[in-house]
Structure 1
Amino acid sequence: MMDEDIARICFTEAALKAKVAELGKRISEDYKDAEETVYCVGILKGAVVFYTDLVRSITIPIHFDFMIASSYGNATSTSGSVKILKDLDFDIEGKHLIVIEDIIDSGTTMHYLMRIFRARKPKSVRLCALLSKPSRRTAEVAIDYCGFEVPDEFLVGYGLDYAGEYRNLPYIGVLKPEIYQ
Protein backbone atom coordinates (compact mmCIF):
# COMPACT_ATOMS: atom_id res chain seq x y z
CA MET A 1 0.00 0.00 0.00
CA MET A 2 2.76 2.51 0.89
CA ASP A 3 4.65 1.52 -2.27
CA GLU A 4 1.80 2.96 -4.35
CA ASP A 5 2.58 6.42 -2.93
CA ILE A 6 6.17 6.32 -4.23
CA ALA A 7 6.93 7.96 -7.58
CA ARG A 8 10.31 6.22 -7.87
CA ILE A 9 13.00 4.57 -5.77
CA CYS A 10 16.20 6.60 -5.35
CA PHE A 11 18.24 4.21 -3.19
CA THR A 12 17.54 0.50 -2.94
CA GLU A 13 17.96 -1.52 0.21
CA ALA A 14 21.22 -2.95 -1.23
CA ALA A 15 22.59 0.51 -2.09
CA LEU A 16 21.81 1.75 1.42
CA LYS A 17 23.48 -1.28 3.00
CA ALA A 18 26.65 -0.74 0.93
CA LYS A 19 26.82 2.98 1.76
CA VAL A 20 26.29 2.36 5.48
CA ALA A 21 29.09 -0.23 5.49
CA GLU A 22 31.38 2.27 3.73
CA LEU A 23 30.60 5.01 6.27
CA GLY A 24 31.08 2.63 9.20
CA LYS A 25 34.47 1.58 7.85
CA ARG A 26 35.59 5.22 7.46
CA ILE A 27 34.47 6.14 10.98
CA SER A 28 36.16 3.05 12.46
CA GLU A 29 39.41 3.90 10.68
CA ASP A 30 39.30 7.58 11.72
CA TYR A 31 38.81 6.72 15.42
CA LYS A 32 40.84 3.50 15.71
CA ASP A 33 43.50 5.21 17.85
CA ALA A 34 41.15 7.38 19.92
CA GLU A 35 41.90 7.21 23.62
CA GLU A 36 38.75 9.07 24.64
CA THR A 37 35.27 7.63 24.54
CA VAL A 38 33.44 7.96 21.23
CA TYR A 39 29.76 8.87 21.58
CA CYS A 40 27.40 8.28 18.67
CA VAL A 41 24.38 10.53 19.02
CA GLY A 42 21.37 9.72 16.88
CA ILE A 43 18.92 12.48 16.09
CA LEU A 44 15.49 10.93 16.51
CA LYS A 45 13.20 9.94 15.05
CA GLY A 46 14.34 10.11 11.44
CA ALA A 47 17.87 8.81 11.93
CA VAL A 48 16.92 5.71 13.95
CA VAL A 49 17.06 3.24 11.05
CA PHE A 50 20.30 4.65 9.64
CA TYR A 51 21.76 4.96 13.15
CA THR A 52 21.13 1.32 14.09
CA ASP A 53 22.61 0.02 10.86
CA LEU A 54 25.58 2.39 11.05
CA VAL A 55 26.60 1.67 14.65
CA ARG A 56 26.56 -2.07 13.91
CA SER A 57 29.06 -1.44 11.11
CA ILE A 58 31.45 0.55 13.35
CA THR A 59 34.16 -1.74 14.72
CA ILE A 60 35.54 0.43 17.55
CA PRO A 61 34.00 0.73 21.03
CA ILE A 62 31.26 3.38 21.11
CA HIS A 63 28.59 4.65 23.45
CA PHE A 64 25.02 5.37 22.38
CA ASP A 65 22.99 8.48 23.04
CA PHE A 66 20.02 10.16 21.41
CA MET A 67 18.47 13.56 21.03
CA ILE A 68 15.11 14.62 19.66
CA ALA A 69 15.05 17.99 17.94
CA SER A 70 12.62 19.34 15.39
CA SER A 71 11.99 22.34 13.23
CA TYR A 72 9.36 20.65 11.04
CA GLY A 73 6.51 19.13 13.07
CA ASN A 74 4.12 17.68 10.49
CA ALA A 75 5.01 20.26 7.83
CA THR A 76 7.05 19.66 4.67
CA SER A 77 9.41 22.58 5.31
CA THR A 78 11.17 23.97 8.36
CA SER A 79 9.45 26.43 10.65
CA GLY A 80 12.84 28.01 11.37
CA SER A 81 12.37 27.45 15.10
CA VAL A 82 14.22 24.49 16.61
CA LYS A 83 12.81 22.67 19.61
CA ILE A 84 14.77 20.15 21.68
CA LEU A 85 12.29 17.55 22.85
CA LYS A 86 14.86 15.17 24.41
CA ASP A 87 18.40 16.13 25.36
CA LEU A 88 21.47 13.93 25.77
CA ASP A 89 21.67 11.60 28.75
CA PHE A 90 25.46 11.89 29.12
CA ASP A 91 28.03 14.64 29.57
CA ILE A 92 30.09 14.88 26.38
CA GLU A 93 32.86 17.16 27.68
CA GLY A 94 36.26 15.83 26.59
CA LYS A 95 34.74 13.04 24.51
CA HIS A 96 34.59 12.44 20.77
CA LEU A 97 31.09 13.05 19.43
CA ILE A 98 29.68 11.75 16.16
CA VAL A 99 26.25 13.20 15.42
CA ILE A 100 24.22 10.89 13.19
CA GLU A 101 21.37 12.36 11.14
CA ASP A 102 19.21 11.03 8.33
CA ILE A 103 19.15 14.13 6.11
CA ILE A 104 20.53 17.64 6.14
CA ASP A 105 17.97 19.73 4.30
CA SER A 106 17.79 23.45 5.17
CA GLY A 107 20.46 22.89 7.82
CA THR A 108 18.51 24.92 10.39
CA THR A 109 18.18 22.17 12.97
CA MET A 110 21.71 20.82 12.61
CA HIS A 111 23.33 24.27 12.63
CA TYR A 112 21.57 24.96 15.92
CA LEU A 113 22.47 21.56 17.41
CA MET A 114 26.14 21.77 16.40
CA ARG A 115 26.42 25.10 18.27
CA ILE A 116 24.92 23.45 21.36
CA PHE A 117 27.22 20.42 21.10
CA ARG A 118 30.37 22.54 20.67
CA ALA A 119 29.43 24.66 23.71
CA ARG A 120 29.53 21.46 25.79
CA LYS A 121 33.28 21.15 25.07
CA PRO A 122 33.67 17.71 23.51
CA LYS A 123 37.15 16.74 22.34
CA SER A 124 35.78 16.64 18.77
CA VAL A 125 32.44 16.87 16.97
CA ARG A 126 31.78 15.32 13.58
CA LEU A 127 28.58 15.02 11.62
CA CYS A 128 27.49 11.93 9.72
CA ALA A 129 24.44 12.32 7.49
CA LEU A 130 23.04 9.70 5.17
CA LEU A 131 21.63 12.36 2.84
CA SER A 132 22.46 15.96 2.03
CA LYS A 133 20.18 18.28 0.08
CA PRO A 134 22.49 21.25 -0.60
CA SER A 135 20.05 23.06 -2.90
CA ARG A 136 17.80 23.74 0.14
CA ARG A 137 20.54 24.83 2.55
CA THR A 138 19.84 28.09 4.37
CA ALA A 139 22.23 27.49 7.30
CA GLU A 140 25.86 26.47 6.98
CA VAL A 141 26.54 22.89 8.04
CA ALA A 142 29.76 20.92 7.48
CA ILE A 143 29.11 17.22 6.93
CA ASP A 144 32.15 15.08 7.74
CA TYR A 145 30.65 11.78 6.60
CA CYS A 146 28.02 12.07 3.86
CA GLY A 147 26.26 9.15 2.24
CA PHE A 148 24.56 10.72 -0.77
CA GLU A 149 23.76 14.18 -2.13
CA VAL A 150 20.16 14.36 -3.28
CA PRO A 151 18.09 16.80 -5.35
CA ASP A 152 15.20 18.84 -3.97
CA GLU A 153 12.56 16.10 -3.91
CA PHE A 154 10.40 14.88 -1.04
CA LEU A 155 12.08 11.66 0.10
CA VAL A 156 10.65 8.99 2.40
CA GLY A 157 11.69 5.58 3.65
CA TYR A 158 14.59 4.19 5.68
CA GLY A 159 13.59 6.46 8.58
CA LEU A 160 12.48 9.46 6.52
CA ASP A 161 8.81 10.27 6.92
CA TYR A 162 5.89 12.35 5.88
CA ALA A 163 3.62 13.09 8.88
CA GLY A 164 5.04 10.08 10.73
CA GLU A 165 4.46 7.59 7.91
CA TYR A 166 6.72 5.72 5.45
CA ARG A 167 9.67 5.42 7.90
CA ASN A 168 9.60 1.62 7.68
CA LEU A 169 10.15 1.37 3.93
CA PRO A 170 13.42 -0.53 3.34
CA TYR A 171 14.45 1.86 0.56
CA ILE A 172 14.40 5.63 -0.03
CA GLY A 173 11.95 6.90 -2.60
CA VAL A 174 10.33 10.07 -3.87
CA LEU A 175 6.85 10.62 -2.43
CA LYS A 176 4.24 11.46 -5.06
CA PRO A 177 3.37 15.18 -4.77
CA GLU A 178 -0.37 14.51 -4.57
CA ILE A 179 0.22 12.80 -1.23
CA TYR A 180 1.65 15.87 0.53
CA GLN A 181 0.21 18.82 -1.40
Structure 2
Amino acid sequence: MDRIRLWDKEFELFIPEQKIQNAIAEMAQRIKTDIADSNPLFVSILNGAFMFTSDLMRELNGPYELTFARYSSYRGTSTTGSVQEIMPVKVDVKDRMVFLLEDIIDTGTTMQYVMNKLREQGAREVRLATMLYKPEAMRCNLVPDYVGLEIPTDFIVGYGLDYDELGRAYRDIYKLKSE
Protein backbone atom coordinates (compact mmCIF):
# COMPACT_ATOMS: atom_id res chain seq x y z
CA MET A 1 0.00 0.00 0.00
CA ASP A 2 1.29 3.43 -0.89
CA ARG A 3 -1.12 5.32 1.38
CA ILE A 4 -3.13 4.63 4.53
CA ARG A 5 -5.63 6.61 6.55
CA LEU A 6 -5.74 6.54 10.36
CA TRP A 7 -8.40 8.52 12.17
CA ASP A 8 -8.27 11.99 10.61
CA LYS A 9 -4.79 11.74 9.03
CA GLU A 10 -3.37 10.40 5.79
CA PHE A 11 0.05 8.72 5.63
CA GLU A 12 2.28 7.74 2.70
CA LEU A 13 4.79 4.90 2.37
CA PHE A 14 8.14 5.90 3.85
CA ILE A 15 10.24 2.79 4.68
CA PRO A 16 9.41 -0.58 3.10
CA GLU A 17 9.54 -3.79 5.14
CA GLN A 18 12.66 -5.15 3.40
CA LYS A 19 14.73 -2.10 4.33
CA ILE A 20 13.63 -2.54 7.96
CA GLN A 21 14.56 -6.24 7.96
CA ASN A 22 18.00 -5.54 6.44
CA ALA A 23 18.73 -2.94 9.15
CA ILE A 24 17.71 -5.39 11.88
CA ALA A 25 19.93 -8.16 10.48
CA GLU A 26 22.93 -5.80 10.51
CA MET A 27 22.15 -4.65 14.05
CA ALA A 28 21.82 -8.25 15.28
CA GLN A 29 25.30 -9.07 14.00
CA ARG A 30 26.80 -6.11 15.90
CA ILE A 31 24.95 -7.04 19.09
CA LYS A 32 26.05 -10.70 18.89
CA THR A 33 29.67 -9.58 18.62
CA ASP A 34 29.32 -7.15 21.52
CA ILE A 35 27.62 -9.49 23.99
CA ALA A 36 30.09 -12.36 23.47
CA ASP A 37 29.77 -14.65 26.51
CA SER A 38 27.82 -12.32 28.78
CA ASN A 39 24.34 -13.08 30.08
CA PRO A 40 22.43 -10.00 28.83
CA LEU A 41 18.91 -9.06 29.71
CA PHE A 42 16.89 -7.66 26.81
CA VAL A 43 14.09 -5.27 27.78
CA SER A 44 11.51 -4.52 25.11
CA ILE A 45 9.70 -1.22 25.53
CA LEU A 46 6.00 -1.69 24.86
CA ASN A 47 3.84 -1.08 23.04
CA GLY A 48 5.80 0.17 20.06
CA ALA A 49 8.86 -2.09 20.09
CA PHE A 50 7.00 -5.41 19.93
CA MET A 51 7.60 -5.97 16.20
CA PHE A 52 11.21 -4.80 16.33
CA THR A 53 11.87 -6.99 19.38
CA SER A 54 10.36 -10.04 17.75
CA ASP A 55 12.38 -9.63 14.56
CA LEU A 56 15.62 -8.79 16.41
CA MET A 57 15.32 -11.74 18.80
CA ARG A 58 14.76 -14.11 15.85
CA GLU A 59 17.95 -12.74 14.26
CA LEU A 60 19.90 -13.09 17.51
CA ASN A 61 18.64 -16.68 17.83
CA GLY A 62 20.14 -17.43 21.23
CA PRO A 63 19.38 -18.29 24.85
CA TYR A 64 18.84 -14.69 25.89
CA GLU A 65 16.52 -13.52 28.64
CA LEU A 66 13.79 -11.15 27.49
CA THR A 67 11.36 -9.07 29.51
CA PHE A 68 9.00 -6.19 28.80
CA ALA A 69 8.39 -2.75 30.23
CA ARG A 70 6.07 0.10 29.32
CA TYR A 71 6.49 3.84 29.64
CA SER A 72 4.59 6.65 28.02
CA SER A 73 5.38 10.24 27.12
CA TYR A 74 3.20 10.77 24.02
CA ARG A 75 -0.35 11.83 23.34
CA GLY A 76 -1.51 12.02 19.72
CA THR A 77 1.38 13.24 17.55
CA SER A 78 3.43 15.03 20.22
CA THR A 79 5.34 14.38 23.43
CA THR A 80 3.96 15.45 26.79
CA GLY A 81 7.45 16.10 28.14
CA SER A 82 7.01 13.84 31.17
CA VAL A 83 7.46 10.08 31.51
CA GLN A 84 4.70 7.90 32.92
CA GLU A 85 5.73 4.48 34.28
CA ILE A 86 3.02 2.05 33.26
CA MET A 87 4.86 -1.27 33.63
CA PRO A 88 8.42 -0.92 34.99
CA VAL A 89 11.15 -3.54 34.56
CA LYS A 90 10.41 -6.26 37.12
CA VAL A 91 13.53 -8.40 36.62
CA ASP A 92 16.55 -7.91 38.90
CA VAL A 93 19.12 -5.99 36.83
CA LYS A 94 21.87 -5.87 39.47
CA ASP A 95 25.28 -6.58 37.88
CA ARG A 96 23.68 -7.38 34.49
CA MET A 97 24.28 -6.04 31.01
CA VAL A 98 20.88 -4.67 29.96
CA PHE A 99 19.84 -3.97 26.39
CA LEU A 100 16.85 -1.66 26.00
CA LEU A 101 14.96 -2.32 22.77
CA GLU A 102 13.00 0.70 21.55
CA ASP A 103 11.02 1.33 18.38
CA ILE A 104 11.97 4.99 17.97
CA ILE A 105 14.03 7.61 19.76
CA ASP A 106 13.25 11.23 19.07
CA THR A 107 13.45 13.57 22.08
CA GLY A 108 15.23 10.89 24.15
CA THR A 109 13.32 11.83 27.30
CA THR A 110 11.79 8.40 27.95
CA MET A 111 14.95 6.38 27.31
CA GLN A 112 17.13 8.70 29.36
CA TYR A 113 14.69 8.23 32.27
CA VAL A 114 14.67 4.43 31.90
CA MET A 115 18.45 4.13 31.49
CA ASN A 116 19.09 6.24 34.59
CA LYS A 117 16.60 4.18 36.58
CA LEU A 118 18.26 0.88 35.55
CA ARG A 119 21.69 2.23 36.50
CA GLU A 120 20.29 3.26 39.89
CA GLN A 121 19.01 -0.32 40.30
CA GLY A 122 22.55 -1.63 39.82
CA ALA A 123 22.77 -2.62 36.15
CA ARG A 124 26.44 -3.16 35.26
CA GLU A 125 25.90 -1.69 31.81
CA VAL A 126 22.89 -0.32 29.94
CA ARG A 127 22.88 -0.28 26.16
CA LEU A 128 20.23 1.13 23.89
CA ALA A 129 19.11 -0.38 20.58
CA THR A 130 16.51 1.46 18.54
CA MET A 131 14.98 0.64 15.20
CA LEU A 132 14.52 4.31 14.33
CA TYR A 133 16.39 7.41 15.46
CA LYS A 134 15.53 11.08 14.91
CA PRO A 135 18.77 12.90 15.86
CA GLU A 136 17.31 16.30 14.93
CA ALA A 137 14.57 15.88 17.56
CA MET A 138 16.93 14.95 20.43
CA ARG A 139 16.41 17.09 23.55
CA CYS A 140 18.86 15.42 25.92
CA ASN A 141 22.38 14.04 26.03
CA LEU A 142 21.62 10.54 24.77
CA VAL A 143 23.23 8.56 21.95
CA PRO A 144 21.84 5.10 21.11
CA ASP A 145 24.40 2.28 20.94
CA TYR A 146 22.64 0.59 18.02
CA VAL A 147 20.51 2.31 15.38
CA GLY A 148 18.60 0.56 12.63
CA LEU A 149 17.79 3.67 10.58
CA GLU A 150 18.22 7.41 11.10
CA ILE A 151 15.22 9.37 9.90
CA PRO A 152 14.03 13.00 9.76
CA THR A 153 11.49 14.38 12.24
CA ASP A 154 8.37 13.34 10.29
CA PHE A 155 5.55 11.75 12.30
CA ILE A 156 5.45 8.06 11.36
CA VAL A 157 3.30 4.97 11.91
CA GLY A 158 3.52 1.26 11.19
CA TYR A 159 5.92 -1.44 12.32
CA GLY A 160 4.79 -1.01 15.94
CA LEU A 161 4.38 2.78 15.82
CA ASP A 162 0.92 4.24 16.21
CA TYR A 163 -1.24 7.29 15.89
CA ASP A 164 -3.57 7.21 18.90
CA GLU A 165 -3.30 3.38 19.02
CA LEU A 166 -3.97 2.76 15.30
CA GLY A 167 -1.45 1.65 12.68
CA ARG A 168 0.92 -0.56 14.70
CA ALA A 169 0.34 -3.72 12.66
CA TYR A 170 1.58 -2.50 9.27
CA ARG A 171 4.81 -4.15 8.11
CA ASP A 172 5.98 -0.99 6.37
CA ILE A 173 6.48 2.45 7.91
CA TYR A 174 4.40 5.41 6.74
CA LYS A 175 4.93 9.13 7.28
CA LEU A 176 2.29 11.77 7.80
CA LYS A 177 1.35 13.23 4.46
CA SER A 178 1.90 16.97 4.15
CA GLU A 179 -1.36 18.87 4.48
Cα deviation for residue 4 of structure 1 reads 3.0
Give yes or no for the alignment of 1:66 onto 2:79: no
Q: Is the CA contact (8 Å cut-off) linking 1:46 and 1:161 kept in structure 2?
A: yes
Q: For residues 89-130 of structure 1, give each alpha carbon's deviation from its aligned partner in whole angstroms, at most 9, with x where no partner exists.
A: 210101110000000011111111111011111121100001
Give yes or no for the alignment of 1:21 onto 2:22: no
Alignment of structure 1 residues 1-181 onto 2, 5 Å: 3-5=3-5, 7-34=11-38, 37-72=39-74, 74-177=75-178
Cα deviation for residue 77 of structure 1 reads 1.3
SS in 2 for 1:161: coil
Normalised by the length of structure 1, the TM-score is 0.90
Where does structure 2 lack aligned partners over 5 or more consecutive residues? none
SS in 2 for 1:79: strand
SS in 2 for 1:114: helix
Distance 1:13 1:59 in 2: 20
Cα deviation for residue 2 of structure 1 reads 9.5
Cα deviation for residue 134 of structure 1 reads 1.2
Letter in 1 for 2:66: F
Letter in 2 for 1:146: V
Distance 1:4 1:90 in 2: 38
Cα deviation for residue 59 of structure 1 reads 3.7
Letter in 2 for 1:4: I
SS in 1 for 2:167: coil
Letter in 2 for 1:120: Q
Q: For residues 123-150 of structure 1, give each alpha carbon's deviation from its aligned partner in whole angstroms, at most 9, with x where no partner exists.
A: 2110000111111111221200001111
Letter in 2 for 1:25: Q
Name the CA shift for 1:136/1:83 in 2 (closer, same or farther; >3 Å): same
Normalised by the length of structure 2, the TM-score is 0.91
How many pairs were matched up? 175
Q: Is the CA contact (8 Å cut-off) linking 1:28 and 1:60 kept in structure 2?
A: no
SS in 1 for 2:89: coil
Name the CA shift for 1:87/1:4 in 2 (closer, same or farther; >3 Å): closer
Cα deviation for residue 172 of structure 1 reads 0.8
Range that drifts further, 18-27 or 58-67: 58-67
